[in-house]
Amino acid sequence: MPSNTTRIAKNTLMLYFRQILIMLVNLYAVRVVLNTLGAVDYGIYNVVGGMVVMFSFFNIAMTSATQRFLNFAMGQNDTEQAKNVYSISFIIHILIAVLVIILSETAGLCFFYTWLNIPDDRQNAAFIVYQFSIAVTVINIIRVPYQATVIAYEKMSFFALISIIESVLKMVIVFFLTMIFIDKLISYSFLVFMAGIIVFFVYKIFCNRMFEIARFRIYHNKELFWRLTGFSGWSIFSQFSNLCRKQGINVLVNIFHGVTVNAAIGIAMQVNSAVYLFVSNFQTAFRPQIIKSYAAKNYDYFIQLIFQTSKSSFFLLFLFVLPLYVNAEFILNIWIKNVPEYTVTFTRLILLFSLVDAISGPLWMSIHATGNIKKYQLIESCFTITNIPLAFLILLIGSSPIWIFVIEVSINVLLLIWRIFFVSKRINILVIDFLFKVIMPILIIAGISSIVTIFTYYFFIDWNRLLISCVVSTLCISSLVFCIGLDKNEKMFLKNYIRKKIVLINGQKK
């Protein structure tokens, strides 16, 4: 167990620095792209690209299945089974890519011309963007088995390399976009497509050379095929409902309010994605160990990981969310010259949604580890899909689109409560333990830190306010997490880890 914990810590640190690079590049790139394209074209790119993503819910479900079965096989030290899983999953992803192309070019095109609210003079450009979005989605689908293999082997250093490559490509795109004189929306879509191809081949070359299991072979096994598709089949309900929530709401807002409000949602989502990827990468480092510990029947360690990951995910995200939430208006005005209406409020509400999601991640990972996901996925999907009819009613009666995201946050809180009780019945976790060891420290630390930061906020203005509130919130959260948020074993591990790093650094200096 100590070696596993050390590996998780190293992977987390690697992914943490990786994400800092991604966040800085993404935030800069979004600013330049928005100012170069304008609110209308940026809104078109978000709503059109989102339509294609809706058809890829099959792939998202299959991604989870591939990851689970690879980790499970490796947790049982069954290399031959891992090879079989890889080959079968590759075939399935090819089939999914073909299905996405068919759906996008039939039902998708029908919806594109019938329902989307796009200015007449931008219809042709939007159509070309749509085609490039399909191509990018197909590339990302075929890339999944490679990504799953890298995560299964816990080679997080490779993700750091990929981050550097992606960041360089984004900067190249931004550079060329400001210099291009032909249609910038079409040019941007083409450049994103080319970047996707480059990243795909980097994954392919690395995996083919480094991992024995990542070599495709013709393999016929109906039982494994149906086990993989059966697992992903139930995940489809969840992924479809999630995509409906995200992209369906984007389309509804487009129909009722036009592409300018879509641009506001797109900016808010970009801010949230930049911040939430810290937690996503953090949980990526833990996920293989959660599944492998269950496969090895090490249930005490399995439960310990769930508690640690839920709690730590929230604290890690809250460290960034609190100063960003408080200073959202000032930061957005600095970052983007002309901030579309609703952007500040959308950003704050989506950040609250993600805080709840951060706690939930390890809970659904634990259910996936068991492989018994049918009931879980069905009920979770029912919770999530209710966002669509409620959003439609809100917009139909003429209410502000802000209420859509208020409802989203409320439903996500209810979903978290249900997950806690559901998981407690499936993997023998006491609800009272989760409440006292995870939820209680989170509420205490979040409450005290928020009060202190907001109190400090009103004594300063502009840059001083931003700087002071960031320092105060960071110090407050960090000290409270160490005093209240960590148990004795976690404190001991943290102290030992820091001590070893200091000794190592001093030794290198000598």
State pLDDT tens for residues 433-467: 899 889 999 999 999 999 999 888 888 788 888 89
Block residue for tokens 């960003």: 324
Q: Residue 126's CB: how many other CB atoms inside 10 A?
A: 21
Block residue for tokens 């990018």: 136
Q: Among 154, 141, 151, 143, which Cα is nearest to 61's?
A: 141
> In angstroms, rounded to a whole number, what is the distance separating the alpha carbons of residues 430 and 420?
9
* Angle (deg, nearest 10), helices 156-179 and 2-54: 30
- Are 305 and 286 in contact by the 8 Å Cβ rule? The answer is yes
* CA within 13 Å, CB half, 223: 1
Long-range interactions of 297-306: CB distance < 8 A, separation 24+: 298/1, 299/427, 299/428, 301/1, 301/4, 302/366, 302/369, 302/427, 303/427, 303/428, 303/429, 305/362, 306/362, 306/363, 306/365, 306/366, 306/423, 306/429
Please give the mean pLDDT across all residues of the chain: 80
Query: Are 418 and 506 within one domain?
Result: no
pTM above 0.75, yes or no: no
Please give the structure tokens belonging to residue 188: 């941007």
> In angstroms, rounded to a whole number, what is the distance separating the alpha carbons of residues 75 and 4?
12
Q: Among 14, 150, 132, 16, which Cα is nearest to 74's?
A: 150
Length of the chain (residues): 510
Using one digit for the tens of pLDDT, what is the confidence trace for 61-110? 666 677 777 777 777 677 777 788 788 888 888 888 888 888 888 888 88
Label residue 502 by pLDDT band (50, 70, 90): low
Please give the structure tokens belonging to residue 332: 């957005």
- What pLDDT, on the 0 to 100 scale, is given for residue 475? 92
Amino acid identity of residue 16, one-letter, is: Y
Query: Are 418 and 488 within one domain?
Result: no
Percent with pLDDT over 70 in the chain: 82
- What pLDDT, on the 0 to 100 scale, is given for residue 43? 76
> In angstroms, rounded to a whole number, what is the distance separating the alpha carbons of residues 370 and 289?
13
Write the CB contacts of 443 (distance below 8 Å, at least 6 apart in sequence).
none
* CA within 13 Å, CB half, 283: 25
Using one digit for the tens of pLDDT, what is the confidence trace for 191-216? 989 988 998 999 888 888 888 777 77
Q: Tell whether the torsion through CA atoms of 65, 67, 71 and 73 is positive or negative.
A: positive
Query: Are 248 and 114 within one domain?
Result: yes
Using one digit for the tens of pLDDT, what is the confidence trace for 119-134? 888 888 888 888 988 8
- Are 466 and 335 in contact by the 8 Å Cβ rule? The answer is no
CA distances from 358 to 115, 119, 306 (A): 34, 38, 12
Q: Among 365, 341, 350, 325, which Cα is nearest to 457's?
A: 325
CA distances from 483 to 99, 312, 438, 478, 497 (A): 52, 14, 14, 9, 17
Query: Are 374 and 470 within one domain?
Result: no
- What pLDDT, on the 0 to 100 scale, is given for residue 1? 47
Q: Residue 12's CB: how many other CB atoms inside 10 A?
A: 19
Query: Are 300 and 387 within one domain?
Result: yes
Number of domains in the chain: 2
Using one digit for the tens of pLDDT, what is the confidence trace for 334-385? 877 778 888 899 999 989 998 998 898 888 888 877 777 778 878 888 888 8
Q: Among 266, 214, 259, 364, which Cα is nearest to 29's?
A: 266
Domain that holds residue 371: 2-429
Last residue of a domain, one of 396, 429, 462: 429
- Are 441 and 482 in contact by the 8 Å Cβ rule? The answer is no
Query: Are 122 and 269 within one domain?
Result: yes
Query: Are 167 and 46 within one domain?
Result: yes
- Are 262 and 48 in contact by the 8 Å Cβ rule? The answer is no
Query: Are 401 and 443 within one domain?
Result: no
Query: Are 414 and 456 within one domain?
Result: no
Tell me, rounded to whole angstroms, the distance of Cα 143 from its chain centroid.
Answer: 17
Query: Are 456 and 420 within one domain?
Result: no
Last residue of a domain, one of 405, 429, 453: 429
Greater confidence (510 vs 300) lies with: 300
Last residue of a domain, one of 394, 429, 464: 429
- Are 62 and 239 in contact by the 8 Å Cβ rule? The answer is no
Using one digit for the tens of pLDDT, what is the confidence trace for 220-237? 777 777 777 666 656 666
- Are 416 and 352 in contact by the 8 Å Cβ rule? The answer is no
- What pLDDT, on the 0 to 100 scale, is given for residue 322? 92
DSSP secondary structure, 200-241, as one string: HHHHHHHHHHH-TT-S------HHHHHHHHHHHHHHHHHHHH
Query: Are 267 and 408 within one domain?
Result: yes
Please give the structure tokens belonging to residue 473: 């919130």
Write the CB contacts of 109 (distance below 8 Å, at least 6 apart in sequence).
130
Query: Are 420 and 437 within one domain?
Result: no
- Are 71 and 288 in contact by the 8 Å Cβ rule? The answer is yes
Q: Tell whether the torsion through CA atoms of 359, 364, 370 and 372 is positive or negative.
A: positive
